[in-house]
């Protein structure tokens, strides 16, 4: 090898080494295609070799769809030795994610603008999304994260385990802006009776601590706390009472509080999947009956028993966010509103049973010209046209129409494994009604992988439309009987297993149960 060639090779090696070890800076700017203005989002960055890359500065983060994602408020920068970066930017459920491979071929700074474009705009259709159940976020953090997740309402909940009662003001938090509303409410809890989210609360419900009941893995053995008197206190404040994570912990007192009209809505989708059995089996384990006599139900099916017993009980959804394992608004309720969207109107829409819940799919649902939450009287027999459409960034399983708990029509998403920009199905059917009925549309994904946090499947469910023959409530005798059996299980638990702090409180529990039993009897 000649001396000149050898010198050239040495020079190339030195140049490559200097280049490869040189620091580069990438600066990104995220804007909305609609407004041209900067927009908050989550940013995930990996190197060409597949390693996570951190952003410059301090940023909160979340894990979602298998990646660590950083919250940014329109701009971000990365200082790295890598020569390429794979960047994914997401802005909630209604916006196309951006995925780009960026080459940093030169040392110094490279600047790029990313434009986020919606594939659907639910606000323009009158639907405003909210999360009923969030913990452990500062209000300023909640505001940034909800903007990044394209969420309109966040209900932060103080409780006995969060040690943040100072956040509670009894009014809309001062960080709120016109399009992003934060309200600090309260969660009250008993590990056997149930958990309750109180929205729009003006004054803390006591006792604030400790929580009631025993949860074995936490090693607690506190006296049980009866929820119903506290729910009455909340109603006196005109607060909204939501049964927390119903599919996870339906609890014993739901069979009391719901018949007594003390619960305004159920969180059907929160911690556990509505199409799977609940984690906490206390009502069935302590019932004194066999599974043949009192069969455990999925949260979705247990909810249907109340609808079939004539309760016009709305469903809602929340994330129960307590850390970085799930985004705020991962489960959300799209409430249909008319006019200006205020916090009070959003909560009132929730109580009225408008809209739908979702962790991905956007539902369009109607029966004839009627939307979720409406009640329509009819005489004799009536044929109605039911239409539901689902569109989603995430693949799902089936689109279904449900009448009084039974699936009357469905479509299966063909070959969901093939990646698409948007997955969609449309379903329309005529249904003839010869009795009072509730009708809803839903997305279920029993046979698809759990790609979401907590291994949840892709799910959406409309609130029902109610058709009342001769203005009579829906009545399915088997459902009423099941709820009466549930109350029988509650009585068995009160008498044999409860640990109230006094006999007087135990008597109070009996009194509320007897009142709830009478409320069910009159529905037969």
* Sequential DSSP letters for 386-439: EEEEEEESS--SEEEEEETTEEEEEEEPTTTTS--S-EEEEEEEEEEESS-EEE
465 and 344 housed in the same domain: no
pLDDT digits (tens, 9 = 90+) for 321-360: 999 999 999 999 999 999 889 999 999 999 999 999 999 9
Does some domain include residue 122? Answer: no
What pLDDT sits at residue 266? 98
Does some domain include residue 6? Answer: no
CA Rg, the chain, in Å? 26
Q: What is the CATH number of the domain that holds 45?
A: 2.60.40.2190
Does some domain include residue 335? Answer: yes
**For residues 443 and 458, is the Cβ–Cβ distance under 8 A?**
yes
192 and 327 housed in the same domain: yes
**For residues 287 and 488, is the Cβ–Cβ distance under 8 A?**
yes
Does some domain include residue 519? Answer: no
What pLDDT sits at residue 7? 40
Q: What is the CATH number of the domain that holds 238?
A: 3.20.20.140
Q: Which of 85, 116, 147 is the last residue of a domain?
A: 116
176 and 83 housed in the same domain: no
pLDDT digits (tens, 9 = 90+) for 291-307: 999 999 999 999 999 99
- The tokens of 343 are what? 């916090």
Q: Which of 77, 94, 116 is the last residue of a domain?
A: 116
309 and 272 housed in the same domain: yes
Does some domain include residue 521? Answer: no
What pLDDT sits at residue 215? 61
Does some domain include residue 4? Answer: no
Does some domain include residue 210? Answer: yes
Q: Tell the residue number behind the tokens 């199905």, with chain if given.
A: 425
d(CA 237, CA 110): 55
383 and 370 housed in the same domain: yes
Domain span at 212 = 127-358+477-512
Look at the chain and report how many structural domains it folds into: 3
457 and 331 housed in the same domain: no
Is the bond leading into 207 cis (omega within 30 degrees of zero)?
yes
184 and 299 housed in the same domain: yes
**For residues 147 and 131, is the Cβ–Cβ distance under 8 A?**
no
List of the chain residues with pLDDT < 70: 1-21, 214-220, 416-417, 524
Is the bond leading into 47 cis (omega within 30 degrees of zero)?
no
Q: What is the CATH number of the domain that holds 447?
A: 2.60.40.10
- The tokens of 376 are what? 């329509």
312 and 176 housed in the same domain: yes
Overall pTM surpassing 0.95 (yes/no): no
Strand-pair category, 108-116 with 24-32: parallel
d(CA 428, CA 159): 44
């Amino acid at each position: 090898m000649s001396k000149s060639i050898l010198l050239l090779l040495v020079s190339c090696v030195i140049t490559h080494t200097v280049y490869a070890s040189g620091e580069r800076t990438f600066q990104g700017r995220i804007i909305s295609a609609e407004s041209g203005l900067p927009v908050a989002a989550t940013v995930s960055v990996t190197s060409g070799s597949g390693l996570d890359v951190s952003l410059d500065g301090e940023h909160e983060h979340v894990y979602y769809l298998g990646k660590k994602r950083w919250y940014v408020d329109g701009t971000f920068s990365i200082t790295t030795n890598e020569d390429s970066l794979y960047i994914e930017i997401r802005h909630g459920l209604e916006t196309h994610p951006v995925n780009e491979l960026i080459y940093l071929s030169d040392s110094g700074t490279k600047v790029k603008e990313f434009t986020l474009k919606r594939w659907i705009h639910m606000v323009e259709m009158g639907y405003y999304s909210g999360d009923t159940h969030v913990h452990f976020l500062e209000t300023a953090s909640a505001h940034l994260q909800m903007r990044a997740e394209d969420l309109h309402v966040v209900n932060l909940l103080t409780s006995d385990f969060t040690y943040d009662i100072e956040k509670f003001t009894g009014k809309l938090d001062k960080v709120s802006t016109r399009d992003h509303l934060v309200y600090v409410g309260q969660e009250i809890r008993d590990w056997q009776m149930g958990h309750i989210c109180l929205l729009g609360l003006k004054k803390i419900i006591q006792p604030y601590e400790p929580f009631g009941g025993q949860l074995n893995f936490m090693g607690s053995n506190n006296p049980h706390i009866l929820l119903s008197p506290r729910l009455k206190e909340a109603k006196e404040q005109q607060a909204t009472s939501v049964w927390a994570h119903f599919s996870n912990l339906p609890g014993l007192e739901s069979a009391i509080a719901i018949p007594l009209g003390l619960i305004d809505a159920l969180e059907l989708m929160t911690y556990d999947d509505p199409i799977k059995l609940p984690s906490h089996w206390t009502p069935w384990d302590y019932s004194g009956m066999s599974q043949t006599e009192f069969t455990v139900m999925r949260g979705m099916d247990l909810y249907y028993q109340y609808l079939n017993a004539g309760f016009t009980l709305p469903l809602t959804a929340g994330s129960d966010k307590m850390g970085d394992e799930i985004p705020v608004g991962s489960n959300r309720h799209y409430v249909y509103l008319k006019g200006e969207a205020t916090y009070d109107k959003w909560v009132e829409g929730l109580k009225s049973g408008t809209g739908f819940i979702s962790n991905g799919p956007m539902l369009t649902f109607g029966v004839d010209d009627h939307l979720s939450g409406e009640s329509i009287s009819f005489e004799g027999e009536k044929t109605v046209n039911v239409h539901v459409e689902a569109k989603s960034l995430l693949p799902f399983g089936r689109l279904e129409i449900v009448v009084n708990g039974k699936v009357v029509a469905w479509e299966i998403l063909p070959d969901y494994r093939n990646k698409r920009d948007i997955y969609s199905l449309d379903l329309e059917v005529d249904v003839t009604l010869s009795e009072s009925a509730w009708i809803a549309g839903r997305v279920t994904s029993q046979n698809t992988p759990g790609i979401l946090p907590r291994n949840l499947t892709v799910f959406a469910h409309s609130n029902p439309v109610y058709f009342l023959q001769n203005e009579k409530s829906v009545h399915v005798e088997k459902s009423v009987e099941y709820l009466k059996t549930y109350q029988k299980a509650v009585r068995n638990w009160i008498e044999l297993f409860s640990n109230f702090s006094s006999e007087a409180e135990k008597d109070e529990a009996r009194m509320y149960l007897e009142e709830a039993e009478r409320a069910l009897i009159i529905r037969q």
